[in-house]
Structure 1
Amino acid sequence: MSETTAGSAGFTGGPTFRRATAADVPALVELVESAYRGESSRAGWTTEAHLLEGRRTDAAGVAEAVEDPQGVVLLAEVDGELVACCQLERREGSAYFGMFSVRPTLQGGGIGRVVLVEAERVVREEWGVGLLEMKVIEQRGDLIAWYERRGYRRTGEYSPFPYGDERFGLPLRPDLRFAVLTKELPAV
């Protein structure tokens, strides 16, 4: 994947996309944490602070995603500043979309939509994969609805939240689980 630029409503010129390297890990951890945990996350609408405390990720987990030969972490930058990211991982017959984060103060301005479109393009055009899958905490109905408006569908499958593994946060309620969503991507 070469650097690409995509336009979006809400900001001029759109972000530039590139693949993350090991040098990007600290900035990625900060971005992901700011989008989902703590007070800074409350500036955006994707916060999970009402469901989980603690960390969303750590440097080791992000480094593993960056170095994964079956995947890529895409960075979206505006004027050289990291504003969003996502992780893509090739799987048998599909690709997985995760670690999707947009700087809280920019959420709602269209950048997330542009990042999702770029992720779908990479999966479809560069990897030749026609199915993108993700897991979203079931209690995040607003976020699931956002994905559904972009063509993702609930599969009816669920996976358990990793209770007891503090690497994924400290749950504030006992009923968390992940809903599996997928989207068929048109052939190239």
Structure 2
Amino acid sequence: MQIGALEVGESSPMMNALFSKREPKTGPMGALGWHVDISNPATGDDFLLHTKELVLPGGQIRPYSVWLSGQYPKVLDGLMKTLSIDMRISDPAWVAMKLSKLTSFGELRGDFLAQVPGESKQQSYPSTVAYVAVVLLARMKALGLINGETTLKKAVPVAVEVDPPVFKAAGRQCPSCMSMSLHKRDGCDICENCGHTGSCG
């Protein structure tokens, strides 16, 4: 049994690979997060996709949970829960592999045009699920967790037992990378995600 769900107190490869067995809870200062609106006119799906993110001890920002809110088939809640567990695997290649496979997931009469993440052009996607996967892969690329389309970076080993994750309060939206990572540092607005420097003073 890879997951180890049936063995009480037993270790398993899957459980040992998690950097956090349960979803880390935020403190009163909140946590980093990223949000994107997704709309599929063909199916009527219209929702906001949220990721909760944390800063690992080495300074790497990692999404560790994904949620939807709005109008969508509730069966997607199960998929998001599974992806949230996959996101907590120490090696980001694991969830990137899962997401890569979902990019070709089709739905009968569910294909639609949507903006390509990071570009001004639109492209046809086979389903809402496929587009969610594309968007999440683009987020991983923006965070430096993967290269190119789906080429995975060599994973940096992360200890299974780590100190409690460091949470940072969400900042303002960065005009360059659109993440909520713009913070005031030494009198200047600096994006902790892409390094953009805004107004000072």
Give the TM-score normalised by structure 1. Answer: 0.26
Which structure: greater helix fraction? 1
Which structure: greater strand fraction? 1
Larger-gyration structure (1/2) = 2
Q: RCO greater where, 1 or 2, for CA within 8 Å and sep 6 or more?
A: 1
Give the TM-score normalised by structure 2. Answer: 0.25
